[in-house]
Structure 1
Amino acid sequence: MSSKLDLYKVFTKVGKSKSFSAAAQDLYMTQPAVSQAIMQLERELDTRLFTRTTKGVTLTNEGKLLFEYANSAINLIDVGEGKILEFKNLTAGELKIGVGDTISKYFLLPYLEAFHNQFPNIKFKIVNGTTSELCAILKSGEVDIAFCNFPVDEPRLVQIPCLTIHDIFVCGNKFQHLLTEPITFDALTNEPLILLEQESISRKYVDDFLSSNGITISPEIELGSHDLLLEFAKSNLGVACVTREFAKEYLDNGNLFEVPLSTEIPARSIGMCYLNSVSLSPSAMKFVESIKKQ
């Protein structure tokens, strides 16, 4: 026998069947190999575990005591191995995802629905946060995958772009005079602007681009939600900087209008991140693969 665990597996099988030959058949071993395993365990424990008779074997008092513990341990190992197989076959498990409200609503939900339909026994744990917060909890191991606004300066993370997005300015009916011809950023700063809070990656991206063109923006209103940007602009409270792909419904319905710019803000992307130093769980790996296929 190559290990103590193998010896105990033989011991519990013999203890249940009360027969070396029956145990050998169940374990796909020869009867002499089973006998040798039991003798080896008895030598190592310096204890007689079975009483041999012409009708088979019975546990000694010491053997009965050991059997209670060994049988429980083997059963727990079997249960553990079964759970591992469940995880590998995606018949059980949990997928922990970090994502913000906007990306969740406008990008991630269809993928979650499709994955849930294919693997209904995998539970989702969704953790909400900004890109900076999500990167922090991803590095701490609290989530398996995070969906973030790119670019992200995190060398420890694998970063996979999923969707190209465009930052635009939109307005309601009150500001339709801005739609007649492309407007410069310098002229746009004269309008009441509505932007995300400065801490957001999306806001920083726009600020950095405008700053590189010598423009500094001082918004009248700062908000923590993309949906609020759309609603505030729809209510004619100002001109909002939003994501075109996430404002499509408002634009298509005529509730908002895209302000033509003399210079477009360069496209960026949203995508998924995970630690490059830690292996993904089977459920996380399968989910990543499902996103990559799209």
Structure 2
Amino acid sequence: MIDNLNNYIIFHTVAKCGNISRAAKELFISQPAISKSILKLEAELGTTLFHRNSRGVSLTEQGHLLYEYVERALDNLDQGEENVRKYSETGMGHIRIGVSTSLCRYVLIDYLKDFIKENPNIRISIDCHSTINTISLLKNDSIDIGLICNTDLPKGLNYHPVKEIHDIFVANYDYIDSFLSSHNDESANTPVENMLMGSIGAFLGVPGQSTMQAPAQDSMSKIRTIDDAANIPVLKTPFNMDGADTLSLLEESNLLVLEDGNVTRQHVDRYMMEHKIKASQLLEINNMDLLVDFASIGMGVASVVREFALDALNEGKIIELPLPAEIEKRTVGFSFHSGKKMSTALVKFLEYCKAQE
């Protein structure tokens, strides 16, 4: 069929013009060349495509049938050429992004909101997975780019950091107050369950339970954005509490953490091993926002990313606990294939992200 493409174009033009001489002028070729092309096509198809007469030519029944298919095919080719031109001129394209729900909400969305406005012809697909699963999707070419926490990457994948993040431990006011009170009273045998129930009772408004609220923070110390959070030191608790108290609290409290195998969990686990912290009770959750929510109602001490807990910190729902040494800061960034030709849309997106730094 490809070898006959020129013959089909000649056939279509002759049928449209109804005259071989007019078709020859339109195609800028000789009349004998046109006649030869038509005869060749008729011979290959084993049928007559045109009625010839002194006034010109007209399609036979078989010619009409073929004409309908040839016209649709040529229209599709024209449309394909037009779309290819638009792809280059207007930036049409498709980007498949892999990202965790937390990184999507607190990092990726800031890049996408203006990029989409500036590039309305680029289609975006978002596939929410953990960093580990995102890397797997990237390796298998199921996505074009991943927004991940920095970690070891397979050969062939690049990593470009875009933000720093800080892992912290938080709890609500009542939970910390209950812990410190039990230690100050030298009640070493006070069950963790009493601390937990007291905090839940306060949240539910149960009579007789503590209803103390955390003091409002100075508005000048509030952290407004992720970039602000990276430059502000650990928030002071309203308690006379130091890093040693926090280590004790981590060991004796209900510790709320991400699920085992998560990159963030692995990072925090290394810190706890280095400081010989052995938690007595763990509650694993696969969502950072739920960790913040659970800590806010006094369910325990939560391991969270400061930049993802800004609202709750600013509102005083949770308090950042002091540590004897800060957990090593990390980065989040985009990972993509190295040495592989990128689509125009993906190149444009990466250039846009770099311009925001």
TM-score normalised to structure 2 length: 0.68
1:130 aligns with 2:130: yes
User: CA separation in 1, counterparts of 2:84 and 2:244?
Assistant: 60
1:225 aligns with 2:222: no
In structure 2, stretches of 5+ residues that fail to align are 177-236
Question: Which AA in structure 1 matches 2:39?
Answer: E
User: CA separation in 2, counterparts of 1:126 and 1:164?
Assistant: 22
Identity of aligned residues (%): 31
User: CA separation in 2, counterparts of 1:217 and 1:37?
Assistant: 87
CA contact (8 A) 2:42 2:49 kept: no
Q: What CA deviation, in whole Å up to 9, does each residue of 1:130-153 have, x standing for no partner?
A: 122222333334333222222142
Mark the CA change 1:60 to 1:249 in structure 2 (over 3 Å): closer, same or farther.
same
User: CA separation in 2, counterparts of 1:179 and 1:50?
Assistant: 99
Mark the CA change 1:76 to 1:185 in structure 2 (over 3 Å): closer, same or farther.
same
User: CA separation in 1, counterparts of 2:249 and 2:21?
Assistant: 89
User: CA separation in 2, counterparts of 1:38 and 1:209?
Assistant: 84
In structure 1, stretches of 5+ residues that fail to align are none
CA contact (8 A) 2:134 2:146 kept: yes
For 2:75, the equivalent position in structure 1 comes to 75
Shift of residue 6 of structure 1?
3.4
1:36 aligns with 2:33: yes
State the Cα RMSD in Å.
Answer: 3.3
For 1:256, the equivalent position in structure 2 comes to 318
- SS class of match (1:46): helix
CA contact (8 A) 1:151 1:269 kept: no
CA contact (8 A) 1:184 1:263 kept: no
Question: Which AA in structure 1 matches 2:127?
Answer: V
1:81-100 equivalent positions in 2, closer than 5 A: 81-89=81-89, 94-100=94-100
User: CA separation in 2, counterparts of 1:211 and 1:45?
Assistant: 82
Mark the CA change 1:237 to 1:177 in structure 2 (over 3 Å): closer, same or farther.
farther
TM-score normalised to structure 1 length: 0.80
- SS class of match (1:31): coil
Which stretch shifts more, 138-147 or 100-109?
138-147
Higher CA-based Rg? 2
Shift of residue 37 of structure 1?
5.5
1:46 aligns with 2:43: yes
For 1:15, the equivalent position in structure 2 comes to 15
CA contact (8 A) 2:251 2:280 kept: no
Q: What CA deviation, in whole Å up to 9, does each residue of 1:192-235 have, x standing for no partner?
A: 22211112111012213443555555553221111111122222
User: CA separation in 2, counterparts of 1:137 and 1:241?
Assistant: 27
